[in-house]
Amino acid sequence: MNSQNEKLNKFFVYWLISSLILIFFTLIIGGLTRLTNSGLSITEWELLKGIFPPLTQNTWEVYFQLYKEIPQYKLLNYNMSLNEFKIIFFWEYLHRIIARIIGLFFLIPLLFFHFTKKINQKYLYSCNIIFMLILLQGLIGWYMVKSGLVNNITVSHFRLSLHLITAFIIISIIFWTILNIKNKKFKFFFNITKKNVPFLILISLIFLQVIFGAFVSGLDAGQIYQTWPYMNNTYFPEDTSIKKFVDYLDFNNPSLVQFYHRNLAYLITIYVLILSYYIYKNKIFNSYKPLSLLILIIILQIILGVLTLLSGLNIYLASAHQICSVLLVFSAINLYYFNVK
């Protein structure tokens, strides 16, 4: 009996790890979908109908004709050929089909684990939340796409950020659950104590940076100033005029959004240095390795961010920058985990 329970628990862990890898891969594909401006190539929801890609020339023509009716084609891609359309269709289709696979991949084993009643209910409770968020994410994805079908040539950057941050929340909960299982504990994430607050602030800053990263991507803000450390010849964007306080909250301004994204990176770096001093001063030995990993990833992320700008938004560097942001969240959560009692 114990042997069966052990096998079941291993299967449970492998399932969570596989789910994390699948969602991580979906984040990469989602980033490439945005970077290639492919997100509006499929203009209908097609929850069931869109499982299979177009298989005939006539079906391709139907999809292409639907795309021709939206502003992105009329104002931006009016010279696009069918073969060029197939490329952007591929990225959006791949993103959607993997999202469907994730839903089924998570639901079926989750039902099995519920019926066996052998898995710690606290872990299953976390998995229920994850599944509900996966369903919600599908709705948010369509809500995002709809914003680019009527009056805009791209999706709303606010909805894009909501879609991205939800994905980060999902993958973070899975990662936290895996840490709990690996350490045979059940630590509650929102354990707000005086000692935990500094680490929660770090995670909050990184999540805020992810949101601004989505703003930058959604507004194509990285195409405006491609110099570093200054934005052209000035620290503050010269094309932005601030006359009253509310102007600082204009998140539709690409230059201002890029300015915030840059400076949040500086703030996070400084904050990590202060946190490092706090950890070493108080000799929190179990945090040394997680902290070293966090610092390494932050350095890599800054380098990738700068190179992405200077390269004129090279798609491979931009994708690596997005991938590294996931690793940065993982490393910050990992550091926090070892400090939660």
Q: Check whether residue 19 and residue 164 sit in a common domain.
A: yes
Q: Check whether residue 170 and residue 192 sit in a common domain.
A: no
* Torsional class of 37: left (φ above 0), alpha (ψ -120 to 50), beta (otherwise): left
Q: pTM of the full predicted structure?
A: 0.93
Contact present, 73 and 67 (Cβ < 8 Å): yes
> pLDDT tens across 132-189, in order?
999 999 999 999 988 888 888 888 999 999 999 999 999 999 999 999 999 888 888 8
Helix axes 82-116, 121-146, angle to 10 degrees: 160
In DSSP terms, 231 is beta-bridged to 234
As for how many domains the chain has, the answer is: 2
* pLDDT band, very low/low/confident/very high, at 4 (cuts 50, 70, 90): low
Q: Check whether residue 165 and residue 23 sit in a common domain.
A: yes
How far apart (Å, rounded) are the C-alpha atoms in residues 250 and 35? 23
> pLDDT tens across 76-134, in order?
888 999 999 999 999 999 999 999 999 999 999 999 998 888 888 888 999 999 999 99
Q: Check whether residue 182 and residue 271 sit in a common domain.
A: no
* Final residue before a domain boundary, out of 186, 221, 251: 186
- Domain of residue 248: give its range: 188-341
